[in-house]
Structure 1
Amino acid sequence: MTDKLPYAEVIGDPIAHSKSPLIHNFWLQALGIEAEYRKTHVTPEGLAAYFLTRRADPDWLGCNVTIPHKIAVMDYADDPGDVRDRIGAMNTIACETGGPLVGTNTDSGGFLQPLMRDKWQGKSAVLIGAGGAARAILFALASYGVPNITVMARDAAKAQALLDRAGVKGNILSLTDPLPTADLLVNSSPLGMTGQSPLDLDLSPLSATATVYDIVYAPLETGLLAAAQARGLATIDGLDMLIGQAALAFDIFFDAQAPRERDEELRALLTAV
């Protein structure tokens, strides 16, 4: 690989843990596409300078966006899909030479893919967190037709704003409240991630057929998923959403469909590092 290849990347703070380059570069190699995908550490203070520099680079195709930039990046991109109003967070910024930056959100579609694959048909969900990822997930849950949604967050005002933006008349609980009965529990917060505080919850209120979905993927088996498996509950790990949203972004950046028939091989690669 050389610096002259077209490239996309993922930005965040922190970013060292990101597995996105492994995913995209696996697909690029599988398809024989001469391009690359990187990860770049960008602080909140450096976000404006980052976009100024990248827009001047003709080889830059765009970036994926992770914590803590999913809301802030909306100030730097055009929004033809009305993502700002519908979701309130962007995780993918695309760039065509000489054109504007265009923002979208592939987290919603990536989040839903494993639920659709498993034909999940629950009626109630609990969403932990009220940040950028939570916005996309709440939008996805509402779009999927889940009628009963509870948001658990440290900040009740942020949780209410999350519900209001999505047009959902849900419930709000603090992280210290007991879980309500639900068919789906989703952790969209960084709690449980390597280097973060653990997410300790009593899962006994969940239904016996509930699914526990943790979007954290470092570590892949979080304490939450381990506790769910100990109760015999169905689980979905963070790689499912990560790969799903990456596939949608891959098409945007490289104008090619990811070879999803090689998902098993890709997961083996991701869990080996």
Structure 2
Amino acid sequence: MSLRAAVLGHPISHSKSPALHSAAYAKLGIEIDYTAVDLTERTLPGFMLELSRQQGWRGLSVTMPLKTAMLKEVDEVRGVAKVLGVVNTVAFEDAGDTVRRVAYNTDVAGIVNAVRNAGVVPAPTAVILGGGGTAASAVAALELLGTGSVQLFVRDTSRVQEARAAAAGVGVDLAVRHLSEAAEPTAAADVVISTLPPRAADGIAGELAASGARTAGVLLDVAYDPWPSMLASAWQSGGGAVVPGLEMLLYQAVEQVRLFSRLGEEVNAAVIDVMCDAVGLPRRAY
């Protein structure tokens, strides 16, 4: 029986997940066919119903706009995903004669490891740009990085339920402000996590560049296509350190590979190295 896994979302053609996962499974010597499937919230239930009639599924990577919609399609939610109500991973686990769909959130680990790799120590000031599921994960990640309060900047301040729930769940003070007010607090922050889609932060980048603002902190820009983003370029020009979104994608994918392969910590540094090679990231010191 052939084994299968996929990344789900819309749009999805730009995803680097197939390259990361395929490289890992080849290195591990496991034949898991990993593909990209374009799905919206409307088409997700039908896909999951059809999938239940098929054998050999090991896992699903879940991206926007499906990170909360997937909650209705699983049998169990584990770990920080239960606190956040946001998932990016579904692992298929054998349970006797049945298969259980178990949801996780590996985005939090992806953010934590990507930021720590930049040498960040607990930071008193943190900013998140953008709302939604990834912003909720960023709130939880910042709490693990030692941050007690976060400023969140969004286009619509009435649509931040996921981030507010995450902050309440992990005990972080969250101040919500309009995106038009973001430039100055962003420049002054120790850690900035942009969860905005590609080009959505161009206005903030323009303000930073025009003002000549100094940026002494670390920016993680989750958007990785095109790269470098205008925000990343402006941040680096101001003197700050930039962590590319591919770093987060790599580290969250490592946790997914451990679940989908069912090999846990056997997914080691050698496997991570070939995953880095697959998307053009420098190999890491472990």
Fold match, TM over 0.5? yes
Match of 2:63 among 61, 66, 70: 66
* TM superposition shift of 1:82: 5.7
| Displacement after TM superposition at 1:179 (Å) | 3.1
Q: Evaluate the alpha carbon distance shift between residue 68 and residue 161 of structure 1 in structure 2; reply closer, same or farther with a 3 A threshold.
A: closer
Choose which of 44, 50, 53 in structure 2 pairs with 1:53.
50
What does residue 235 of structure 2 align with? 228
Structure 1 residue 78: Cα displacement: 2.8
1:213 touches 1:235 (CA, 8 Å); kept in 2? Answer: yes
Greater shift, 98-107 or 233-242, is seen at 98-107
Residue 61 of structure 1, CA deviation: 1.2
- Structure 2 residue identity aligned to 1:10: V
Per-residue Cα deviation, 1:136-188 (whole angstroms, up to 9, x for no partner): 11111123220231000112123365234422222111111143131111111
Pick aligned residue for 2:184 from 174, 179, 182: 179
Tell me which residue corresponds to 2:124. 123
* Gap runs ≥5 in structure 2: 282-286
Tell me the alpha carbon deviations over residues 67-109 of structure 1, each in whole angstroms, 9 at most, x when there is no partner. 1100110111133426555112100011135222111100000
C-alpha separation between the residues in 1 aligned to 2:20 and 2:275? 7
**Mapped contact 1:78–1:101 kept (Cα < 8 A):** yes
RMSD: 2.2
Letter in 2 for 1:260: A
1: CA distance between counterparts of 2:164 and 2:125? 15
1:238 is matched with which residue?
Answer: 245
Contact 1:93 1:102 in 2 (8 A): yes
- TM-score under structure 2 normalisation? 0.85
Counterpart for residue 27 of structure 2: 30
- 2:202 maps to a residue whose letter is L
Q: Is the partner of 1:44 in helix, strand or coil?
A: coil
Give per-residue Cα distances to partners, 1:2-50, cap 9 Å, x unaligned: xx52011100111100110100101111121122211111122110011
Q: Does residue 258 of structure 2 align to residue 251 of structure 1?
A: yes
- Counterpart of 1:102 in 2: which secondary structure? strand
Q: Given the alignment of the two structures, is residue 260 of structure 1 paired with residue 269 of structure 2, yes or no?
A: yes
Distance in 1 between residues matched to 2:201 and 2:190, nearest whole Å = 22
1:151 corresponds in structure 2 to 152
The answer as to 2:139 corresponding to 1:138 is yes
**Structure 1 alignment gaps of length 5 or more:** none
Amino acid at match of 2:178: S
In 2, Cα distance between equivalents of 1:40 and 1:160:
27
Asked whether the 8 Å contact 1:185–1:211 carries over to 2, the reply is: yes
Summarize the Cα distance change of 1:111–1:165 in structure 2 as closer, same or farther, 3 Å threshold. Answer: closer
- Residue 183 of structure 1 contacts residue 206 of structure 1 at CA under 8 Å; is this kept in 2? no
Deviates more, 1:55-64 or 1:239-248: 55-64
Is the strand fraction higher in 1 or 2? Answer: 2
Q: Are the counterparts in 1 of residues 5 and 57 from structure 2 also a CA contact under 8 Å?
A: yes
TM-fit CA distance, 1:198: 4.8
In the alignment, the residues of structure 2 paired with residue 91 and residue 198 of structure 1 have an alpha-carbon distance, to the nearest angstrom, of: 23
TM-score (norm 1): 0.89
Contact 2:235–2:242 under 8 Å retained in 1: yes
Q: Counterpart in 1 of 2:278? A: 269
Shift of 1:206: 7.0
**Secondary structure in 1 aligned to 2:135?**
helix
Q: 1:147 to 1:207 in 2, by over 3 A?
A: farther
Tell me how many residue pairs correspond in the alignment: 265
CA distance in 1, matches of 2:167, 2:146: 12
Distance 1:238 1:246, change over 3 A: same
How far apart, CA to CA, are the structure 2 residues paired with 1:59 and 1:90? 22
SS in 2 for 1:186: strand
